[in-house]
């Protein structure tokens, strides 16, 4: 999977979202007539599932567009690659004033998205072979929900709840129905029948069954009403009612099977973490898929650092680092032209 090329926002391109000291450094170098060709390497002190680097490549493709091709090169890993602590994931060679202003943006794109992708991978590994869906959009600012859901998919989620995030990953959004719909109709079956009437045929009929009645009772009522059209049910029982338990899932599965609805899938959501997912797996609970929100959206960013390692071909480094380019055999050369939008 690769992020689709797009023009970065005005705030990023103008430098308004950069740390002010990079703005000041660029102005000083311009006034002093200095603009050497530098090699900058980006690495992290931690390990994880890389994400956001494709967005960084997209930014570099735009800001380096007018540069002399002989003076620039960009090498990197890709979204979805795993990496180890201190491994170089991105190397930029260009005149400093062309890209130095964007160090804040490049590191930020990667830090947040890599944290989300890594947390998603933790859930995916705990749930395997059952799929995981990203439901974390409500926990972050709406301006970044697309990046969150894209990162979750990079981390291994099979889908995401927002159209914007799914679109970035080249998928259709995944979701069921909100409790508000059931509450407004006043009955789960009535809400499910309206959903079935009004949604396009390609939207899976997945119904929440924890709003008004016992979940097993509601699952059977909905299954009898929709029959073969019902794809699945989602359990989101709140903590005030004891949350979703492995025993509850097992009971619902048995009752659905006994009534002839073995085709109906069961999705579990609500405060899921890798440990909670493993609880269902360890209990042998027949969960078909998991919907995870805050564990992914609340993941701690994985910090990245950018170091200049060469200036005009001469090895250099700050104290504590080794001067010169780091041996990084996994880096791949980037075709900048392929990352610019048409």
> What's the pLDDT score for residue 87?
97
99-148 pLDDT, tens digit each: 999 999 999 999 999 999 999 999 999 999 999 999 888 888 888 888 99
Is residue 189 a part of any domain in this protein? yes
Domain at 237, CATH number: 3.20.20.70
Considering the entire predicted model, what is its pTM? 0.91
Domain at 57, CATH number: 3.20.140.10
> What's the pLDDT score for residue 293?
92
Tell me, yes or no, whether 148 and 210 share the same domain: yes
Asked if pLDDT for residue 342 goes beyond 50, the answer is no
221-262 pLDDT, tens digit each: 999 999 999 999 999 998 898 899 999 999 999 999 999 999
Query: How far apart, in whole angstroms, are the C-alpha atoms of residue 295 and residue 222?
Result: 30
> What's the pLDDT score for residue 246?
96
Sheet with 289-292, strands from edge to edge, namely 159-160, 132-134, 289-292, 265-269, 230-235, 205-208
Is residue 286 a part of any domain in this protein? yes
Residues comprising the chain, all counted = 342
State the average pLDDT over residues 32-56.
96
Give the start-end residues of each E strand in 45-193.
48-49, 73-76, 82-83, 88-95, 132-134, 159-160
Tell me, yes or no, whether 278 and 143 share the same domain: yes
| DSSP class per residue in 185-204 | HTSHHHHHHHHHHHS-TTS-
Is residue 28 a part of any domain in this protein? yes
Tell me, yes or no, whether 260 and 175 share the same domain: yes
Tell me, yes or no, whether 163 and 176 share the same domain: yes
Tell me, yes or no, whether 198 and 322 share the same domain: no
Percent above pLDDT 90 for the chain: 76
Q: First CA to last CA across the chain, in angstroms?
A: 20
Is residue 3 a part of any domain in this protein? no
Tell me, yes or no, whether 129 and 103 share the same domain: no
> What's the pLDDT score for residue 3?
63
Is residue 1 a part of any domain in this protein? no
Is residue 2 a part of any domain in this protein? no
63-79 pLDDT, tens digit each: 998 888 899 999 999 99
Tell me, yes or no, whether 277 and 158 share the same domain: yes
Number of domains in the chain: 2
Residue 38: pLDDT band by 50, 70, 90 thresholds? very high
Tell me, yes or no, whether 166 and 122 share the same domain: yes
Tell me, yes or no, whether 184 and 204 share the same domain: yes
Residue 289: pLDDT band by 50, 70, 90 thresholds? very high
Tell me, yes or no, whether 88 and 221 share the same domain: no
Is residue 5 a part of any domain in this protein? no
Domain ranges, residue 169: 118-297
Is residue 326 a part of any domain in this protein? yes
Query: How far apart, in whole angstroms, are the C-alpha atoms of residue 221 and residue 225?
Result: 6
Tell me, yes or no, whether 305 and 160 share the same domain: no
Tell me, yes or no, whether 136 and 34 share the same domain: no
Residue 4: pLDDT band by 50, 70, 90 thresholds? low
């Amino acid at each position: 999977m690769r992020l689709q090329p797009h023009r970065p926002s005005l705030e990023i391109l103008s430098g308004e979202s950069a740390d002010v000291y990079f703005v000041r450094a660029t102005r000083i170098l311009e006034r002093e007539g200095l603009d050497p060709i530098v090699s900058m390497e980006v690495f992290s002190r931690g390990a994880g599932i890389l994400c956001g680097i494709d967005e960084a490549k997209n930014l570099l493709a735009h800001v380096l567009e007018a540069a002399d091709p002989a003076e620039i090169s960009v090498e990197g890993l890709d979204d979805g690659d795993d990496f180890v602590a201190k491994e170089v994931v991105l190397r930029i060679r260009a005149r400093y004033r062309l890209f130095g202003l964007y160090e804040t943006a490049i590191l930020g794109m990667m830090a947040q998205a890599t944290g989300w992708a890594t947390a998603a991978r933790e859930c995916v590994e705990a749930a395997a072979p059952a799929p995981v869906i990203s439901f974390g959009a409500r926990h972050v600012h709406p301006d970044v929900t697309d990046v969150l859901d894209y990162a979750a998919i990079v981390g291994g989620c099979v889908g995401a709840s927002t159209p914007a995030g799914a679109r970035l990953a080249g998928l259709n959004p995944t979701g069921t129905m909100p409790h508000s719909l059931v509450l407004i109709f006043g009955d789960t079956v009535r809400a499910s029948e309206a959903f079935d009437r009004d949604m396009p045929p390609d939207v899976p009929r997945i119904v929440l069954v924890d709003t008004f009645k016992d979940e097993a009772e509601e699952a059977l009522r909905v299954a009898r009403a929709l029959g073969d059209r019902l794809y699945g049910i989602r359990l989101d029982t709140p903590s005030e009612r004891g949350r979703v338990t492995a025993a509850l899932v097992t009971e619902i599965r048995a009752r659905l099977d006994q009534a002839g609805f073995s085709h109906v899938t069961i999705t579990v959501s609500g405060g899921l973490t890798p440990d909670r997912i493993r609880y269902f797996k360890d209990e042998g609970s027949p969960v078909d898929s998991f919907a995870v929100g805050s564990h992914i959206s609340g993941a701690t960013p994985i910090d990245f650092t950018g170091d200049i390692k060469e200036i005009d071909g001469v090895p250099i480094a700050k104290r504590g680092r080794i001067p010169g380019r780091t041996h990084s055999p996994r880096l791949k050369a980037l075709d900048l032209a392929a990352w610019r939008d048409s």
